[in-house]
Structure 1
């Protein structure tokens, strides 16, 4: 069973160039490149080109070697994957028309679409799928290997059937295949990996026109594409690291769509020359809790922390409505989310009572957070939480560090108190967060509770409603024990051309195959 995304999680707003002029921001520079302006709709014709900003420069255009999320915005257009995850987190066919598993979910057979060819005419069959996966599996140090760590073997049964044999039951395995792009095996081997990365060839709806590292990745529509032809004829994906430059690029007309920071939305939302898209992401910002450290070993202290924090004050006040309070460590778009998992709520009086019952005497609790990086306004969020906790009687030792240092402490399981963190599963499935939050090797799993280990493993061996029931039990138990305090689900925000007809994805990646201009 799937829980639909709330209707309030997607909205559009209009903005204008005048708003940014008032804030003193600079016009976009360093965004040049890509297609020239010939062929643009300057005479009233509907545009057929999109220029979009990506936040960082991809490391490689070889989908065998590169698995960073930013590059998937390129690969979704130029290569096929067995399945796709839709904008709202649903699983749907792509190169595979259907997939089935054996009774214990250790063997998965995928049936492929007939008549698929790469842009150079090479047929794409089960052998190409097997080659792509086998090549990734042969390099445990590769960026894509983690998505396939459950795979024992992969083989082509016939031209249109590929079989995956897993090391153990894994009900969510099809979602992992949405991140693995298929290359034409003969072409890849003849060219070699390095040459292929310079002139990639896939079977997707677009082909590479020009690669200018650090400047743009230019794609044109594949007229021989086996599927439905997209409306947009050409795409230029351009690395632009600055939030201000991305917004100004849209407002100046050099970009059609770009991700922006939450602080920029409020300053421009009342204007009228560009759209703002805001949609709930697939991530949750939460407080991690070292439940084995000092006073935090007492469940009453952990419960008091959750009850002391007014989540709506953060989402509606600090974040200006560009987030929604979270009740679990999974976002609504993520498979495994359930409305049946209840939030303990905001009750500062009860928090004070619990502290008194526990005999809390003001012992300082370290609170680590990153001053930059993955969580926008992280310092403000941390300070707001600190104030709420101190208001009910906690003594909080706030400890800010840069993102790299903070991440190293998370990975080393070195937190001594509470800490600000976030999880956004690339598969839009709860299995990845559960592995990290509730299993013994997880970076965030201080509790090492056998019950969470058992439930995290159990969900892999069941499907449908039975799997959702396991998620509900695990996440409800986690809330009761106070192992984490889910805070909020942030929104992905974009500035866009006012005529762009587009649906943003929960994972924040670009897919323009069903996009057009009005």
Structure 2
């Protein structure tokens, strides 16, 4: 999954032929004929599927790659409109993935079973330190690809992966995993062409995928990349435009000014002063959709000051979520009461109970019991340029009023700097944490962000929380006989998470998109991204 840059929980102006690309603050001319431009923030890493677990790079990769499976836009159920023809198992341990024939990469080479097996092994190998490694943790032989401190692992290929023939992949898991087919729409399961292994760094600048758009030039950091339509695309949803120019911005306000002036065609996620007015300003060039995400306040459990669960609970109960959603977000956010999004299977409306409700007396009692030092200010961390300062200031003011603790805002790092610092245990206080689903299951909101197996760099467990009881509950869900039984166990895991509270849920988001009169058919998909292939240029 994806850590999201902009409010929720998530490049580059490229010079294309005959086109002036925007540089990292927006501006510049609009796109060339048949090509439209789309706002993104700076991706954290080069554009390789196995090492892209945030929203900005993922939006680009969704244009470049087509997944194994897709999802119904209304029901979230798995559909086989991607590369996979079927995903089947008799025991939920041994799985067979059948691929559709005749798919090709943008360089003309075939997409076959080996393309997937080799890519998954490379992503899982600890030597490469890829952030999506965790997603293969349940495959037999994964542990043999893991070694500490940069040492060489015992193996370079998982024993549980086999390319039987060009169109058949066999996957042997460590234990049953009832929702395995549901996971396969995530970008970490994308294939890679043979050319990737010759120079992964060059590939990250100019990826070669199997999707509706292809890269003809390098991604330029701080500017962006322009992709063009792939004419030999085998999927059901080919690109309707001749190209899409992803333009990197460091500030939401700059992007919004550009889309108002016609220098940017499509923008998803708006600055705070536009939340309440964009609908009226753009009229039929405005769309919104509930975002499948969560914004949380994470705690650095490795810091002695925040290692006591009573401290974390006190902070949670000192925050008035409803007041912030009304005063700051003008009701474009909803107070969160679960670690999962309301759109996913397993969501419970009041899973958090009283711990997510304002209770100043109880919060102060907990802080006193924990012996928390109120004389030292609390440092509140968030990434710059995405309108987080407004609501984080509101939280700081509530902590000062309700707990008698001063605060310091630490919001000077851009997204691509903020995430690595989290991986390095660099948070010295509560921090903005965001997640948007990779696939529609409560499990996806729990395992990649709080399980022991997802500790960085293998996953996105930024609080560095580890509890064997929580891990076991997730495992019990994976071993369930049905999706329903699995969900029950995942909910049990969530209850353990609320007991320990390594993070506290804050808000669920609303995606808001606006666009220029140059384009039409702009849609927000199930995952809160723009359906890049569907956009038409007038």
Please give the TM-score of this superposition, normalised by the length of structure 2. 0.72
Change (3 A) 1:477 1:200: closer
Match of 1:207 in 2: 214
Check conservation: 1:28, 1:246, Cα contact below 8 A. no
- Within a 5 Å distance, the mapping from 1:313-328 to structure 2 comes to 313-328=323-338
Please state whether the residue corresponding to 1:344 is helix, strand or coil: helix
**1:234 aligns with one of 224, 236, 243:** 243
Cα offset, 1:87, TM superposition: 6.1
Change (3 A) 1:368 1:274: farther
2:125 equivalent to 1:114: no
Match of 1:501 in 2: 521
Q: Between Structure 1 and Structure 2, whose CA radius of gyration is higher?
A: 1
Change (3 A) 1:341 1:184: same
Cα distance between partner residues in 1 of 2:508 and 2:103: 39
Match of 1:489 in 2: 508
- For residues 8-39 of structure 1, the C-alpha deviation after alignment (integer angstroms, 9 at most, x for no partner) is x9xxxxxxxxxxxxxxxxx99755479534xx
Q: Aligned pair count?
A: 475
> Which moves more between the two structures, 105-114 or 380-389?
380-389
Match of 2:118 in 1: 131
Check conservation: 1:251, 1:274, Cα contact below 8 A. no
Contiguous gaps of at least 5 residues in structure 1 = 1-8, 10-26, 38-47
Change (3 A) 1:264 1:159: same
Match of 2:341 in 1: 331
Cα distance between partner residues in 1 of 2:41 and 2:136: 26
2:455 equivalent to 1:437: no
Change (3 A) 1:449 1:31: same
Contiguous gaps of at least 5 residues in structure 2 = 1-7, 9-22, 142-157, 456-460
Match of 2:295 in 1: 285
**What is the alpha-carbon root mean square deviation over aligned residues?**
4.3
- For residues 381-420 of structure 1, the C-alpha deviation after alignment (integer angstroms, 9 at most, x for no partner) is 344334445555x33242432466986885566878x724
Match of 1:373 in 2: 384
- For residues 287-327 of structure 1, the C-alpha deviation after alignment (integer angstroms, 9 at most, x for no partner) is 3457896899585x766654443211111211222211100
Please state whether the residue corresponding to 2:285 is helix, strand or coil: strand
Change (3 A) 1:307 1:326: same
Cα distance between partner residues in 2 of 1:225 and 1:82: 15
Match of 1:147 in 2: 135
Match of 2:430 in 1: 419
Cα distance between partner residues in 2 of 1:200 and 1:305: 43
Change (3 A) 1:373 1:274: farther
Change (3 A) 1:431 1:176: farther
Cα offset, 1:497, TM superposition: 2.5
Match of 2:491 in 1: 472
Change (3 A) 1:265 1:85: farther
Please state whether the residue corresponding to 2:432 is helix, strand or coil: strand
Please give the TM-score of this superposition, normalised by the length of structure 1. 0.75
Cα distance between partner residues in 1 of 2:205 and 2:369: 62
Please state whether the residue corresponding to 1:423 is helix, strand or coil: strand
**1:181 aligns with one of 190, 195, 199:** 190
Change (3 A) 1:255 1:438: same
Check conservation: 2:50, 2:133, Cα contact below 8 A. no
Cα offset, 1:422, TM superposition: 1.4
Please state whether the residue corresponding to 1:316 is helix, strand or coil: helix
Check conservation: 1:278, 1:322, Cα contact below 8 A. no
- Of Structure 1 and Structure 2, the greater strand share is in 1
Please state whether the residue corresponding to 1:182 is helix, strand or coil: coil
Cα distance between partner residues in 2 of 1:77 and 1:361: 49
**2:65 aligns with one of 63, 79, 99:** 79
- For residues 176-223 of structure 1, the C-alpha deviation after alignment (integer angstroms, 9 at most, x for no partner) is 5521332344x657x755665676544322333444625443333333
Match of 1:223 in 2: 231
- Within a 5 Å distance, the mapping from 1:449-460 to structure 2 comes to 449-460=467-478
2:534 equivalent to 1:514: yes
Cα distance between partner residues in 1 of 2:361 and 2:64: 56
Cα distance between partner residues in 1 of 2:306 and 2:275: 40
Match of 2:253 in 1: 244
Cα distance between partner residues in 1 of 2:289 and 2:135: 26
Cα distance between partner residues in 2 of 1:268 and 1:470: 43
Check conservation: 1:280, 1:491, Cα contact below 8 A. yes
Cα distance between partner residues in 2 of 1:367 and 1:266: 29
Change (3 A) 1:430 1:282: same
Cα distance between partner residues in 1 of 2:307 and 2:201: 51
Match of 2:153 in 1: none
> Which moves more between the two structures, 316-325 or 66-75?
66-75
- Within a 5 Å distance, the mapping from 1:157-172 to structure 2 comes to 157-172=164-179
Change (3 A) 1:137 1:481: closer
